[in-house]
Amino acid sequence: MSQRKRILCVEDHADTSALLKTILEQDGYEAVGASTVAEALDLARSAGFDLYLIDRWLPDGEGIELCRMIRTFDSNTPIVFLTADARETTRVQAMAAGAQGYMVKPGEPGQLEQLVSTLTLQMKRQSGRLPLNYRR
């Protein structure tokens, strides 16, 4: 039996975080929560994840800077922004910082699940390259 894919969900609103965890776990993922940039960095450095799901605004910083920091030690694991910030300039900044996806809350039903599934499958299909912090 294969191990479930792990997703780090960086979201400071408890209700949104709980909803994300429920949705992802129903789809067979293991969802680990963080509510600050500092907590997310500690987890990202110490545990292997298959995808990072990041909010734009966090109590101790912003998701775009967190994305840049993650990219200094993990250049492969997909990063997706899930945010209420619908501005195109913000989406462009997130993608330039290293994200592979950008979704505006609340999104269409099934949109998050499809994006997560697509990106984790693409990562698996990479030509033998696994994320720097990948755990089996």
- Phi and psi at 125, nearest 5°, equal -80, -10
Q: Residue 111 has which token pair?
A: 């949109």
Evaluate whether residue 133 is within a structural domain: no
> For residues 88 and 94, what is the distance between their CA atoms, to the nearest angstrom?
10
Evaluate whether residue 77 is within a structural domain: yes
The letter for the amino acid at 83 is T
Number of domains in the chain: 1
Evaluate whether residue 23 is within a structural domain: yes
Chain mean pLDDT for the chain: 86
Answer whether residue 127 shows pLDDT above 50.
no
Preceding omega of 106 cis (within 30 degrees of 0) = yes
Residue with tokens 């979704």: 103
> For residues 95 and 36, what is the distance between their CA atoms, to the nearest angstrom?
20
Residue 39: domain span: 6-123
Evaluate whether residue 131 is within a structural domain: no
CATH code where residue 84 lies: 3.40.50.2300
Among 20-24, 52-56, 66-70, 87-91, the range scoring the smallest mean pLDDT is: 20-24
Evaluate whether residue 58 is within a structural domain: yes
Cβ neighbour number for residue 66 with a 10 Å cutoff: 27
Evaluate whether residue 136 is within a structural domain: no
Evaluate whether residue 130 is within a structural domain: no
Residue-wise pLDDT tens digits, 52-68: 999 999 999 999 999 99
Beta bridge mates, 61: 58
pLDDT at residue number 126: 56
Evaluate whether residue 129 is within a structural domain: no
